[in-house]
Amino acid sequence: MSVIEVVATESSEHSQAFLDYPYTLYRNDPHWVAPLRMDQKCLFDPTRHPFHRHAEMRCFLAKRNGRVVGRVAGIWDRNYNEFHGEKTGFFGFYESEDDPDTAKALLEAVRGWLSGRGAERMLGPMNPSTNYECGMLVDGFDSDPYVMMPYNPPYYPRLMDSVGLRKAKDLLAYIARRGEVQWEKVARVARTASEAGRFSVRPIRMPEFWTEVERIWNVYNAAWSKNWGFVPMTREEFWFLAKEMKPVVEPELLLIGEKDGEPVAFALALPNVNIALKYARGRLFPLGLLKVLYHRRQIHSLRVITLGVIESGRTAGVAAALYMGLAAAAIQRGYEEAELSWILEDNVLMNRSLRALGAKIRKVYRIYEWT
């Protein structure tokens, strides 16, 4: 067996190889949806993407006989460690051939780099944090991923086990189909949230988009502050993501919950644009954009990306009221099913509620730990 060489991407040639590798690895995989190359290039550019303002990222390539056979990134997120009072590093953007030696060489390279920054444990995959894509698919390989959700070959979990990584947390993706959800239960619970008219749900006001984004940002960081793996989003990051999402946001699918006139909750669902993006194969030009526009008519599903309520605004029916609002808008627009992802495996209340409403687990993603 030839030796695996791991190199840091310190040249433009290596950086390009890092970006290109997934497009080679997955070229014959029927379920992979190629991310847009221009978005990937931006994500790894410290001068363009705001994540790098509070984090360091070091990318590595694995080579055998001069051929790229894997890649991974080490991530040192100062905001995460300051928020949690930890010394945790992350690995992300992992891709490789089906070979334990390659996996071991890549992850040991990241572990060494993180140890040099004082890390006492490593979690991953984070691409690059829980505010973005994260987790490794361990169950549900028979269908395409929904928008902003990861995908990987079935052999990846086996590689993680071979290296000695262990499960830290599972993230669940539920599917809810129009004819299977118990809408009468949702409506009944939602009615309790009105509380004499003090709680209401409304769509985002697009003419006031950036003012609304400010309100949502405050709710986002407050609502998830006690969740496992959470790291607050900086204002710059949140605005960056809002700008990216704005072209595909449907106002009636971005709901703000108010109590006594103050924002206390919000929910966001996006059309599953992966159905159309799949045909672009990672490039919008010269013909990718036309393919996306043409195949967009096939989109009959959406993903509920986030639904959160700040602690002071939590009552029995607030989440139900938001779900009911999303459901009504989705049905009116002809959507047939929705993925609700992701949900922490130990979020007892949310998991119990989704199952009671008729939603079913479709995919399981795993965050691994190496101490």
**CA-to-CA distance for 256 and 19, rounded, in angstroms?**
37
The model's pTM is 0.94
Q: Is the pLDDT at 29 greater than 70, yes or no?
A: yes
Q: pLDDT digits over 234-280, tens only?
A: 999 999 999 999 998 999 999 999 888 889 999 999 999 999 999 88
What's the pLDDT at 193?
58
**CA-to-CA distance for 314 and 176, rounded, in angstroms?**
23
Domain 4-172 falls under CATH 3.40.50.150 = no
Mean pLDDT of 283-306: 81
Query: Residue 327: beta bridge partners?
Result: none
- pLDDT confidence band for 212 (50 / 70 / 90): very high
Mean of the per-residue pLDDT values of the chain: 92
CA distances from 296 to 274, 276, 331 (A): 9, 5, 17
Name the DSSP class of 233.
P
Class level of CATH domain 176-364 = alpha beta
Q: Is the Cβ–Cβ distance between 127 and 93 less than 8 Å?
A: yes
Q: pLDDT digits over 223-238, tens only?
A: 999 899 999 999 999 9
Q: pLDDT digits over 325-359, tens only?
A: 898 899 889 999 999 999 999 998 889 888 888 89
Q: Is the Cβ–Cβ distance between 308 and 266 less than 8 Å?
A: yes
Q: Which candidate, 302, 320, 314, places its Cα nearest to that of 148?
A: 302
User: Quick check: do 4-172 and 176-364 share a fold?
Assistant: yes
**CA-to-CA distance for 342 and 359, rounded, in angstroms?**
13
What's the pLDDT at 181?
77
Q: pLDDT digits over 44-64, tens only?
A: 999 999 999 999 999 999 999
The domain segmentation of the chain, as residue ranges, is 4-172, 176-364
